[in-house]
Amino acid sequence: MGIKGLLVALRGHDRRVHVSKFAGRTLAVDVLVWLHQGIVGCATELCTAGPSSTTRHVKYCMDRVELLIRYGVVPLVVFDGASLPSKDGTDAQRAASRARAMAAGNALLAAGQREAARMQFVKAVDVTPDIQHDLMLALRKRGVSFLVAPYEADAQLAFLCASGIADGVITEDSDTLPYRCSTVLFKMERDGSATAIERTPSAAFFRRHKCESGGKVDTISLAGFKDASFLDMCVLAGCDYCPSLPGIGLKNAWRLVRDRGGLQGAIRQLRADGALFGSDSYPADALRAKQTFVYQRVWDPVAGRCVTLRPPEAAAEWGVEPPDLACPAASAFLGPHREPDVATAIARGIIHPETLRPYPGEDLAQVPRALLPAPPDTRCGTPNAAPTPGSGPFTLLKPQVVGSALVTSRPSGLQAKITGAFRPASTTASSYFGSATSRTPVPNAPPSLPSPLGRRRAQRGATALPALYGVKATAGAAPVGLLALSGTCAGEP
């Protein structure tokens, strides 16, 4: 994880602190680190029986949350979101390594070598979104704030620091330093002590003249470096988004950036030296890696939407232009843009960041309506038989099922007699008619279609009535709009 050798090279910049120093302040926690540490003790259970077999990893994390609270720190727990396309190569290598370890662990377990199998399972186990969700439930119960990043937690941590929401971060990932997190606490112990590296102000950070590398003081100096050149050095040394070239470690990367003025100058030198032979894609890969560090998508808790970590106006400061964010192909390596309601549901731990499906037990009212699964349809009273597209001028919209609903669709349109409570998930849809209260307007209701029948009666914010619904759509068109229904079919209408 992170930039190989960076923390060793920055030993002259760190110091030991205690978390009590941050009493009354907010520390954002890269909780993936704690989860990885916690699953070591229950790797066999997780690999052989699944996440529901143990809660030891959750307890491990909650013990550290309680430690922060005990010393007056306000924890803000940050989870990783969806896989970042920029990291596909690294993720694929790690997945292959885990698969090999899993196969070896199962073979050893079958042979009765439980301890040897456990060591392989430690290498094989992965922190999945479902494992993360178990911890989210525990944090909610304790009243501890958390959020799920759209993609990488590192970029989200940096945004929280830059926007003043967090005063520092707790992690083991050195990527937080090129991301320019202000104060980073590494190697937090059970007694609350940690190693701190402070990046604020940046000018003071780069005034240090000597750093240690490989256990000895050498010629690496950050004097004269800026945030952009520090990032260039980290990209050249090899990161999760772009592996280093053969023979290019941290020290050589530092020298190239110092002597050639940045990433592009270093690449030109490497090309002239023949170091790019067989690595034709490296210049483009390195550029995308730098763009990923600067313009990765994060969630803004104040605005309630996805933004880039740095605005496009930061191009001059960081020495790299942003990709064309309006073009999905040009910015595909940053992952797809998430609409505000989707990003918010991800951030709150309501929906899975990869599949966008609700986690079990979550409140469906907080799920964006476009993401709700369609219930089984019925055609002429037969379950699971979908209407034939183009068979009539009307088609069934996908409803959110709160309880159970049996809907009958006919070629001439949707006709369903629903008894029970119902509510529209949106009062702005122009494709449905019917409403939960008589005060809600009925937009664009075709006069040829029946209105809801029966007496309206308010009941706990919904309406209880037998109703006959019609929904307008063009033949064969994709459904638009959404109705949330509950109840049972009272028979053929």
Q: Is residue 154 assigned to a domain?
A: yes
Q: Is residue 169 assigned to a domain?
A: yes
Q: Are 11 and 132 contained in the same domain?
A: yes
pLDDT of 179 above 60: yes
Q: What is the DSSP letter of 481?
A: S
Beta bridge partners of 186: 195
d(CA 150, CA 139): 19
Q: Are 271 and 308 contained in the same domain?
A: yes
Beta bridge partners of 74: 26
Q: What distance lies between CA 26 and its chain's CA centroid?
A: 21
pLDDT of 40 above 70: yes
Q: Are 182 and 250 contained in the same domain?
A: no
One-letter amino acid for residue 57 of the chain: H
Q: Are 48 and 181 contained in the same domain?
A: yes
Q: Among 132, 167, 198, which residue terminates a domain?
A: 198
Confidence bin at 279 (pLDDT 50/70/90):
confident
* Closest to 187 in 3D by CA, of 174, 201, 199: 174
The boundaries of the domain holding residue 316 are 221-335
Q: Which of 43-52, 133-142, 219-228, 315-324 has the lowest mean pLDDT?
A: 219-228
How many separate domains does the chain show? 2
- Write the pLDDT tens digit of every residue in 98-156: 999 999 999 999 999 999 999 999 999 999 888 999 999 999 999 999 999 999 999 99
Q: Are 232 and 166 contained in the same domain?
A: no
Label residue 302 exposed, middle or buried (CB < 10 Å: 0-12, 13-18, 19+). Answer: exposed
Q: Are 50 and 180 contained in the same domain?
A: yes
- Write the pLDDT tens digit of every residue in 327-378: 999 999 999 999 999 999 999 999 999 999 999 989 888 888 778 766 655 4
Q: Is residue 163 assigned to a domain?
A: yes
Beta-strand pair 74-79/145-148: parallel
Query: Average pLDDT of 288-312?
Result: 96
Domain CATH code at residue 65:
3.40.50.1010
Q: Are 182 and 320 contained in the same domain?
A: no
Q: Is residue 291 assigned to a domain?
A: yes
Q: Is residue 167 assigned to a domain?
A: yes
d(CA 389, CA 374): 16
Q: What pLDDT sits at residue 479?
A: 31
With tokens 């885990």, the residue in question is 98
The CA-atom distances, in angstroms, between 299 and each of 181, 308, 390 are 16, 8, 41
Domain CATH code at residue 324:
1.10.150.20
d(CA 345, CA 370): 12
Token digits for 353?
């960041």
* Closest to 484 in 3D by CA, of 447, 435, 439, 444: 435
Q: Is residue 38 assigned to a domain?
A: yes
d(CA 482, CA 368): 11
Q: Are 28 and 151 contained in the same domain?
A: yes
Q: Are 171 and 231 contained in the same domain?
A: no
Q: What pLDDT sits at residue 29?
A: 98
Model confidence, pTM: 0.73
Percent of the chain with pLDDT over 70: 71
Q: Is residue 19 assigned to a domain?
A: yes
Range with the largest mean pLDDT of 213-217, 393-397, 414-418: 213-217
Beta bridge partners of 147: 78
- The most distant pair of C-alpha atoms in the chain lies apart, rounded to whole Å, by 85
- Do 306 and 292 touch, CB atoms closer than 8 A? no
Q: What is the mean pLDDT of the chain?
A: 77
- Write the pLDDT tens digit of every residue in 71-96: 999 999 999 999 999 888 888 899 99
